[in-house]
Structures are given as structure tokens and as C-alpha cells.
Structure 1
Amino acid sequence: MPFLRVLIVEDDPIIAEDIKEMLTNVNYSVQGIAYDKNDALEILDKTKPDLVLLDLNLSGEYEGFEIANYINSKKIPFIYLTSYSGKEILDKAKNTLPMGYIVKPFNERELYSAIEIAIYNFSKFLIPIDLNRENINKLITNELTQKEFEILKGLYEGKNNQQLAEENFVSLNTVKTHLKNIFEKMDTHSRSETIAKINEILR
């Protein structure tokens, strides 16, 4: 199981491949690359990425805003990638509630930092008031073990696999196994989908 599954929406194939390389260098998994709006919507219908990197200006049109609205309906966090930083564009972007906004060109460290912060902020944005194992287990068929619940809490706090392993004194492979079990029991396929589902059922 990868650390984080990311969808890249970028109309320049060279830039898309550069981003893919940056992501794999920091142990993220690229779930797909979309070069236009139709590609992006199709991939989003078929898969459940944990995060979307979204080029704002696709093929000379600001289709990123339209895609952003669809992403929000799926309750998936996203970060805009753009060459534009003017006030008018920023104001429009803010209304679509991105978890970040990266101005091109950017490097691997900047991308990694933006993604980690985005996942953390998304988890905080959706955390339910009363997150406890007993309440969750009342609402699912196969109950979470105490250790699985501890991993789930860490996931909600925006922690990555390495942090989860260190805090729970287990190996990375054990964390991945727990996450796999959590996804199966929650009938979800990704971190962001799990966060959104918990928020929904405990609301």
C-alpha cells in the first residue's frame, strides 16, 4: 500500500512527468495523470485518490475551477498548480476551497511540504467532534481493533505512514496492514475517503 495516492491533472506532459518523478521520490504513488478536464473527471469517477494536484489553466482555459467543484463533491483534498498569482485568480481560487496553491515553477521540497500541509489541514477540517472507537464500531459491520483505531486516529491527525509507525512502535509494513484492514472494514479505498466517511457517519 503506498504512502499517499495522488492524481495529477496537468496539460503539459513534460511537467506532468516531472511532478510524477518528484512524487515517487518521496514515496507517494501516482494514481493517474489527466491532461484535460474529461480525463480528470473520468479518472475521478473510477478511482479514489487521497489528493489531487490540479493545474488551474488547462488548454488555455480555466477548467481547473470546474474540476475543483467536482473534486469537492467527492470530498477529496486538492492543491492548485498554476503560473498565475494575480489577485483576481486568487480570489476565484479561494472560493473553491483548495488545500493549497503552488505557483510554478516549484521544486520537490516545496511540493512535498504543500502536500503534507494539505493532508493535515484536510483532516483537521473534517474531524468529527466525538471520534471514539465505540461510536465507530456501532456503525460498521466488522469492528475495528484498538490498534486499528489508534492508526485511524493518527490518520485523522494528518500523520503519514512513517509517523504512524513511530508513534505506535510498529513497522511500516504493520501500519500498511492496519490501513488495509481499516479500509476494508470501513468500505473505503483511500485516506481522504475514510476521513470523509467517518465525518459523515458521526455527524
Structure 2
Amino acid sequence: MANIQVLIVEDEPLIAEDICEHLSNVDYSVLAIAYNKSQALKVLEQQIPDMILLDINLGGNLDGIEIAHLINQKYQVPFIFLTSYAHKSILDQAKVTWPMGYIVKPFSEKDLFSSIEIALYNFSQNARPHNLNLERINQVLLSPLTEKEFQALQDIYQGLTNKQMAEKQFVTVNTIKTHLKNLYDKLEVGSRSEAMAKLRNLIT
């Protein structure tokens, strides 16, 4: 579960499965597919993803915008809007929810991946505490982080995937997963987004 976990909120099953297939080609994990607002909220109550791909128009309503407001209020997770609509009135409603991106259907696999990577980077930079250093973190943790675990944490704040971390550090993806598991255990969290939220509360 150390991969970047994505929640797909899309009411058209074929599009949702297409997105799922694209994500499975790289080191992203699909946490769940929700086809409507109630399913999306149920998933969020059970587990917090690292990224949400959120269709604005669910079942003929702009439920995606309502979900976006709730994400900002309660979960603080980056999300990208997916939509077939590019009307100014809808854009005006969508932009005030501060999405990390906006993809108009139909979109390519390249568009999807580049949007996710940029979104993860921008969100993690905004969430990064000003005084993020190993000594400061270890002052507030019962089990101190190692240098390798701190490096993994820094890479999370760069929005890197497990594969990108492994290439940067010249280690295997399994080694990265081990570092992330140890990091999550010490922070008592289950995902990247929860790790960032926990640190923000601990050292700010």
C-alpha cells in the first residue's frame, strides 16, 4: 500500500475502467472507483487517498463540486476535476474549490499522467512545513526517523512516485516501499497524504 493511492469518482463505468487501466500501467494504485456522490463519501470515510480524480457531473448533477468542497473542509487531499463540460459558468463554480488540475474529456494517457504529477507536486509543496528537517521531526516522534526514511519523506514532498524515488536513490522499488512502510508506522499513518497532514499538525 506504499504506492500513490488514487480514488476515481466517475459515473461512466467505461471511462472509469479506462482510467483504472492507465493508472495500472505505472506505479499508482486505484484505491476505489466510486460511481456517485454517496459511494465517494463512503470511501473517504474509510480510507484517505493520496489523489482524487473527480468528475464534476455525476448522474446529471454537479455533485463533483459538492464533493470538492467537502474534500477541502474535511480531508485536504489534492483532486483533479474530470469533465465533458468547459462552460464558463461551470468553470467559475469549479475554480473556487481550488482543484489541482482540470482535464476535459476525452483526454489522453499522457494528459492524465502529466496532470497527476503536476498536481501531486504542487499540493505537496503547498503542504510542506517551513521547518522540515530531521532533527525537528525527531523531537516530536517517539520512534525517530532514519536518514533513509527522512529522504523518503522529502521525496514525498517532491510528489515522486515509488519508481521515481528508486531511480533517484539508486535502490529497488521494494527498498523504497520498506522505507515508506517504516515511515508510516512511525508517524502512525497509512498514506502519503496522511503523513503530510500529520507532520503539518506536529511541527507547525
Is 2:68 the counterpart of 1:68?
yes
Shift of 1:158: 1.4
Mapped partners of 2:171, 2:23: distance in 1? 25
Letter in 1 for 2:89: E
Is 2:3 the counterpart of 1:6?
no
Mapped partners of 1:90, 1:13: distance in 2? 24
Shift of 1:168: 2.1
Mapped partners of 2:115, 2:93: distance in 1? 20
Aligned residues: 203
Mapped partners of 1:129, 1:48: distance in 2? 24
Mapped partners of 1:11, 1:3: distance in 2? 25
Partner of 2:57: 57
**Other structure's SS at 1:60 match:** coil
Partner of 1:26: 26
Q: Sort the Cα spacing of 1:25 and 1:2 in 2 relative to 1 into closer, same or farther, 3 A.
A: farther
Mapped partners of 1:141, 1:18: distance in 2? 43
Shift of 1:3: 2.8
Contact 2:2-2:181 at 8 Å conserved across structures: no
Shift of 1:30: 0.7
Contact 1:58-1:64 at 8 Å conserved across structures: yes
Partner of 1:172: 173
Where structure 2 has 5 or more consecutive residues not aligned to the other structure, the ranges are: none
Mapped partners of 1:15, 1:91: distance in 2? 25
Q: Residues 57-84 of structure 1: CA distance to partner in whole angstroms, max 9, x if unpaired? A: 0010000111112222211111100011
**Other structure's SS at 2:32 match:** strand
**Structure 1 segments (4+ residues) deviating >3 Å:** none
Mapped partners of 2:48, 2:129: distance in 1? 21
Residues 126-165 of structure 1 aligned to structure 2 (within 5 Å):
126-165=127-166
**Other structure's SS at 1:114 match:** helix
Partner of 2:102: 101
Shift of 1:2: 4.9
Partner of 1:112: 113
Q: Sort the Cα spacing of 1:2 and 1:20 in 2 relative to 1 into closer, same or farther, 3 A.
A: farther
Shift of 1:22: 1.0
Q: Residues 87-127 of structure 1: CA distance to partner in whole angstroms, max 9, x if unpaired? A: 22112111101111000001111101111111001101111
Mapped partners of 1:75, 1:193: distance in 2? 9
Where structure 1 has 5 or more consecutive residues not aligned to the other structure, the ranges are: none
Contact 1:2-1:27 at 8 Å conserved across structures: no
Partner of 1:42: 42
Letter in 1 for 2:68: A
- Identity over aligned residues, as a percent? 54
TM-score, length-normalised on structure 1?
0.96
Letter in 1 for 2:9: V
CA RMSD between the two structures? 1.1
Mapped partners of 1:81, 1:120: distance in 2? 19
